[in-house]
Amino acid sequence: MIPLEEPTIQASKLKAYQFDLATLIALLQGQEDDWLFHEAKQATELSFNGQVYLRGIVEFSNHCRNDCHYCGLRSANRAVKRYRLSFDEILHAVDTIAKLGLGTVVLQSGDDFHYRAETISRLIGEIKQRHDMAITLSLGDRKLTELKQWRDAGADRYLLKMETFDRKLFARCRPKADFDERLARLEYLQALGFQTGSGIITHLPGMTDEILARDLQILSRMQLDMLACGPFIAHSQTPFADQPNGSILTSHRVSAILRLMNPGANIPATSSLDALSQGARELALKRGCNVIMPSFTPEAVYANYSIYPGKNTANHHGQQRLTQLCQQLYAHGLTPSFTRGDAKRNLYVPRH
């Protein structure tokens, strides 16, 4: 039985939970689901006033120099049709997002070094000149000097998921990536003043409850602004093709735990939830998540950003997709918010 702390969040709303390893494992195994989900919902409402932050994401290239064993964009996958958006095509997609009133754009790609640092800086400058919006970058393992260049150009946030903080599992899943360098990059991003995000894939093949629990402790210790966790989904063109998909329930438990440990962080409900089961993403928004990221990747290439099966398969695009998403959120009693939606991490102090 987990030693649950009293009083609950309502009475001490500015405190973040700290859980020991045994408690985390028990929570991950579902021993206190009612308490966990109730408390996470309350914490999310207290921090974000019942609002779900919307971000427009532009997935501008599916080229990748990495060869991660889980990802459909891995360089060894010859079956995927590769694309790169031009500078003007990216800007056009961002203009659409801004016109629809969204306060944040997320620019994401595989680790594609075809785009020079100067080009990305110019893009950031142009977006900032045209629109009053936050820019989140998710461009993978770029050089530290480039990260600084982009911060200087005006980028606000950077998302770099570790996928797991377990060194051995990381090496098994990401043979071309360097664990220490990725971790150092995260620290550097924070030092540069980026709102920094990281995260994990739950149920990566080889991930145990203990590894997952340790991942949550490390993630929470890092005092991040964004925490992303979504279930593993097997992709047929990868070495993990025959591995079982991650569990939606575990992913919900993970985001609920992260919410309690990081009450003011932005936690997206990932599209991998939706890919596994319709409605799983909305349920996540009632269990600790507070962000959703509709894709504005141009229709001609949208389906080719096929990280995992079920990703980018919606029929509607642009405004239609956004309208539909807002309707879905309202139908679930959730309120979409078009603001910049910065994290509220600094409002909180650790709970001892």
Q: Which residues bind ligand SAM (CB under 6 A)?
A: 70-71, 73, 108, 110-111, 138, 140, 160-161, 163, 201, 230, 232-233, 235, 272, 307-308
Output the smallest distance, CB 48 to ligand SAM, in A.
23
Residue nearest to ligand SAM (CB): 140
Output the smallest distance, CB 97 to ligand SAM, in A.
18
Q: State how far the Cα of 157 lies from the Cα of 225, in Å rounded to an integer.
A: 9
- Cβ neighbours, 10 Å, residue 187: 11
Q: Which one-letter DSSP state was computed for residue 221?
A: H
Q: State how far the Cα of 104 lies from the Cα of 156, in Å rounded to an integer.
A: 10
Q: State how far the Cα of 59 lies from the Cα of 79, in Å rounded to an integer.
A: 19
Output the smallest distance, CB 270 to ligand SAM, in A.
7
**Closer residue to ligand SAM in complex, CB, 121/136:** 136
**Closer residue to ligand SAM in complex, CB, 140/336:** 140
**Closer residue to ligand SAM in complex, CB, 99/167:** 167
Q: State how far the Cα of 187 lies from the Cα of 154, in Å rounded to an integer.
A: 19
Tokens of 146: 């480039």
Output the smallest distance, CB 134 to ligand SAM, in A.
18
Q: State how far the Cα of 132 lies from the Cα of 98, in Å rounded to an integer.
A: 8
**Closer residue to ligand SAM in complex, CB, 110/263:** 110
Rg (CA), the chain: 19
Output the smallest distance, CB 148 to ligand SAM, in A.
18
**Closer residue to ligand SAM in complex, CB, 37/308:** 308
| Helix extents (H) in 167-247 | 167-173, 179-191, 209-221
